[in-house]
Structure 1
């Protein structure tokens, strides 16, 4: 069982453009799609498509249209929210370029946040993994994920391994609290989020310089930056690198995987979430580091090859080889 938390769910509205996005111009769209989304929901949907047992925990109002869009086959545990979920807008074109506009989301209130923490603790007890995914509600403290990790590890009779797929202050709070709550088992930033994380937690870091490093050498710079947090604050880091593949970093080594040959990027919506799901699927099978990394890249590439907001299923997996090499 894998439990996911989507603390700040979003109704994803994806508009497919007939031509590349042209700011300031009037353009035609070929289609529009609405989905109940948010990173944890996406991860749970991919896991379910591959036959894994998954449960998505999230706050959602009883009368929210979001609730009607949740896939009926997806097991969910909901906490009553005081307002409708935010709307995220994605503009995609035939060249695979995606422009996203994400809204902040309505405040939940302290009582709902407390109920959400309790629901996660109970749902995660006895699970294999708990994945804390995405941004936080507008009024939630930056250390909400750190608080949940502490509560799960303190109150659950059989606490799960914990993955965190978050950015900014929420991720920095988890990493900074490692001395108190212990290292998380997995973090999944992309190269830009990793640079931001190191800038946030290492005194004297120059954010602009770190971002320039990963732009100039995504693989090498990301490997060096990941070593700033692995294994002290996180036991493993899965760093997605877009067209440069992905890195897996743990106490035993660093591995890099390229993307499969022949994959044509059509939309990046949900690709990172699918990579996390692919990693967890392989980990549940007892796969070694190289195969966990291959599975992450294969699932992420599959979703990136699909239009709009579609997420990978077994039928979508690319068949091309995924080379994995250890880095010194």
Structure 2
């Protein structure tokens, strides 16, 4: 079973327009829909669509629209009552695939509710293969929420493996508990490396360009994070412009991403045990201490990128729990993310929507593992036939909601 904990779930409302957003004007939607959402909820929805056991844990009252929405689709879930409504998030999609999200902050969780969530997850996690801790944190919840959740889960006699999919300070703080897997996008990976003091060591930033973009940024945009590991270089806040520049470099270079993730995996102090880094149109890189792979999907028409990253994580875990090797599971991950991007709203794909044979997986060089082999197209059934290989990319976007 794959169990998910979503600390800040919500009702995802999607509005589809016939043209670009016109600021300050009245526009009519061509389609609108809503689904119960939140990163962990979306992972559970994708797992359930594959007819695999899953349980979604979250705060919320039983009559909240998010929980009644889960009842309506038959998704197994448990919740801790809060006495306050869960948030609503609005997504606006344009015909070219541009996605604009407006996320409410959510309602605060009391210390008692937080502890009750930890207890509920630990109670339900016995016998689970993976626990996914995902999404943003509500207002007033300390950044170490996921780190404390990991510590509580690992008190079990046979603890499950733990994946974390969040961003910013909560992600950096979660690294103090050494999760088994993290799933950052390019910006989140850049923030994390900066928080660990590893931007120089990873080769992403050199002294001559360290301030070229950040000096032009508004100081109020600086990213302040906890530092999860002992630093190897001085930590300075990343300005928005430099953050975007670094993210662009990572998305355009799987090899640079492999080096960056390898630097994080081999750093001193607490660190993740593996990293699934999503690179937007650049696909995804899976990094382990001694190996790394890059997976890419052909170009395609994008309908909505909301939830694509969540489906990517679900696809990867479905592959691993189905007994696949990590590189084959990576192919399934990217295929799931691409399939989700072709769906309206916060859509999650079923296995029938997923084309793993269209994904190209290439081994990457890391300091601990020299580059060997050549690109291969992978399916859920291992095969030597590479006749279905295609080159290309599939757009994907994600955020800690």
Q: Is this a same-fold pair by TM over 0.5?
A: yes
Counterpart secondary structure, 1:228: helix
Q: 1:230 corresponds to which residue?
A: 265
Mapped to 2, the partners of 1:267 and 1:221 lie a distance apart of: 28
Q: CA deviation digits over 1:43-63, x for unaligned, max 9?
A: 001001112110100111233
Match of 1:275 among 296, 303, 312: 312
Q: Kindly report which structure 2 residues correspond to 1:198-237, keeping only aligned pairs within 5 A, or say none.
A: 198-202=193-197, 203-205=234-236, 207-208=238-239, 209=242, 211-218=244-251, 219-231=254-266, 233-237=271-275
Q: 1:98 to 1:210 in 2, by over 3 A?
A: closer
Q: Kindly report which structure 2 residues correspond to 1:71-86, keeping only aligned pairs within 5 A, or say none.
A: 71-86=72-87
Out of 232-241 and 268-277, give the one that drifted further: 232-241
Out of 270-279 and 92-101, give the one that drifted further: 92-101
Q: 2:33 corresponds to which residue?
A: 33
Mapped to 1, the partners of 2:179 and 2:81 lie a distance apart of: 28
Q: CA deviation digits over 1:305-324, x for unaligned, max 9?
A: 11222211122113652111
Q: Structure 1, unaligned stretches of length 5 or more?
A: none
Assess if the C-alpha contact under 8 Å between 2:96 and 2:302 holds in 1.
yes
Q: 2:93 corresponds to which residue?
A: 92
Q: Kindly report which structure 2 residues correspond to 1:75-224, keeping only aligned pairs within 5 A, or say none.
A: 75-154=76-155, 156-175=156-175, 177=176, 181=177, 183-202=178-197, 203-205=234-236, 207-208=238-239, 209=242, 211-218=244-251, 219-224=254-259
- Return the offset for 1:285: 1.8
Mapped to 1, the partners of 2:355 and 2:153 lie a distance apart of: 37
Give the TM-score taking structure 2 as reference length: 0.77
- Return the offset for 1:228: 3.0
Mapped to 2, the partners of 1:231 and 1:305 lie a distance apart of: 36
Q: 1:266 corresponds to which residue?
A: 303
Out of 24-33 and 36-45, give the one that drifted further: 24-33
Mapped to 2, the partners of 1:93 and 1:304 lie a distance apart of: 13
Q: CA deviation digits over 1:59-108, x for unaligned, max 9?
A: 11233222221144211111111211111110012211111111110112
Q: 1:56 corresponds to which residue?
A: 56
Mapped to 2, the partners of 1:205 and 1:247 lie a distance apart of: 26
Mapped to 2, the partners of 1:100 and 1:238 lie a distance apart of: 24
- Return the offset for 1:238: 0.4
Assess if the C-alpha contact under 8 Å between 2:340 and 2:349 holds in 1.
yes
Assess if the C-alpha contact under 8 Å between 1:56 and 1:76 holds in 2.
yes
Out of 229-238 and 34-43, give the one that drifted further: 229-238
- Return the offset for 1:20: 1.6
Q: 2:279 corresponds to which residue?
A: 241
- Return the offset for 1:210: 5.1
Counterpart secondary structure, 1:229: helix
Assess if the C-alpha contact under 8 Å between 2:62 and 2:68 holds in 1.
no
Q: 1:205 to 1:221 in 2, by over 3 A?
A: farther
Counterpart secondary structure, 1:138: coil
Out of 266-275 and 219-228, give the one that drifted further: 219-228
Mapped to 1, the partners of 2:130 and 2:328 lie a distance apart of: 18
Counterpart secondary structure, 2:301: coil
- Return the offset for 1:145: 0.5
